[in-house]
Amino acid sequence: MSKQSNKSTPHKPDFVFGKKNYVMMAIGIAVIAFGFILMAGGGSDDPNVFNPDIYNFRRIRLAPTIVLIGFGIEVYAILLDPDKKKSK
């Protein structure tokens, strides 16, 4: 018995994630990048002068929290089921 292949139908690639997953991953990456941008700065132009702005609320509390939220979004995006339909 010979095996016949269907040459008229092109093979559609199977992706691990769906479109919803990739959109959520992009949002998570943007949130992580925003957190790192908030951490930036606070340096001093003169190395002999200490700038206490490096220890302000934005760099010590807010930015790391936003980065962790971004990582949480990434975990959610990986675990999201793309085939699940909305129920009405």
Q: Confirm if 70 and 38 have CB atoms less than 8 A apart.
A: no
pTM of structure: 0.76
pLDDT in single tens digits along all 88 residues of the chain: 555 555 677 877 777 889 999 999 999 999 999 999 999 977 778 888 888 888 899 999 999 999 999 999 999 999 998 787 766 5
pLDDT at 42: 72
CA gap 25, 28 in Å, rounded: 5
